Each structure stands twice: as structure tokens, then as C-alpha cells.
Amino acid sequence: MVPILKKSLTFGEHMLLYCATRYELQPGKGSEYQDWIASIDNMKYWEEIEKDTGVKYVNTFFTIFALGDSECETWWSMPDWASIGELRSWAAFQAWIEKVHREFVNGEIGLKRRIMVAGRDTKLFG
């Protein structure tokens, strides 16, 4: 099946894009990371990022009972494709990435990222 975006959206309608990033944590950092993502400090980054770019932090999910491809997955919603480019240039997002990768993410194991749209905003062929 090949999904494409529906042409039926009219100008001004919003179609949210979702970015999901899968990753592994450094050994022994799981509880500390869970505490940090629920912290006011983490939310301050995302309040600024959302205000400046429209990109919104959805949540960070953790695999349980080893039933998943990665230990963690963080989701964001984005109002449009342009916000992806804007996100990369904002200092608050860069600071968040640096902190998370320096203190929590296991850099020896690669990240997996995907961009998705809701089923109602796509049409499948095949």
C-alpha cells in the first residue's frame, strides 16, 4: 500500500503531522529520565518550542515487558511540513536535544524516526 495525502483538504484546514522518535537509554538512566520528562524544566522547553514553532510535545512512551522495538519513543505533533525546518533552527529545541542526548540517550544505538499523518488525512492505494 502506498499512502498519499488527500487532496480534499481546503486552504486553511489543518492536518497534523506526527513525528515519533525511538531510542534506547543509557544503562541505569530510565528512572531519572522518567522523572525529568515529567519535570517543570522539561515542560519549560516545550512551552517555548510550541509558542515559537507550533510543534507540540505529545508524550514519551516506554516499552514494557520488552514488547517493543526500542526502550522509549517520544511523539510530537506539527501543524505543517514547514515547522520541521523551523524546529531545527530554534535554540530551545537544540538545547532540549543536547540535554536529552548528553544525559539520557544511549548514543551507541541509533535513533529511528518516522513522520506520520492520521488515517483520515490519507488515502491508501494498493
Whether residue 109 is contained in a domain is answered as yes
Cell representation of residue 82: 514547514
Domain of 19, CATH number, reads 3.30.70.100
Whether residue 62 is contained in a domain is answered as yes
pLDDT, position 82 = 82
What is the b/e burial string over 69-104, where b = at least 16 CB atoms within 10 angstroms of the residue's CB?
ebbbbbebebeeeebeebbeeeebbeebeeebeeeb
Whether residue 118 is contained in a domain is answered as yes
pLDDT in tens, 12-24: 445 678 899 999 9
Q: Is pLDDT at 126 greater than 90 in this prediction?
A: no
Whether residue 68 is contained in a domain is answered as yes
Q: Give me the number of domains the chain comprises.
A: 1
Mean pLDDT value across residues 78-104: 86
Mean pLDDT value across residues 95-104: 91
The overall average pLDDT reported for the chain is: 81
pLDDT in tens, 4-59: 444 444 434 456 788 999 999 999 998 999 999 999 999 998 998 888 888 999 99
Whether residue 88 is contained in a domain is answered as yes
Whether residue 70 is contained in a domain is answered as yes
In this prediction the pTM is 0.75
Whether residue 10 is contained in a domain is answered as no
Domain limits for position 23: 15-125
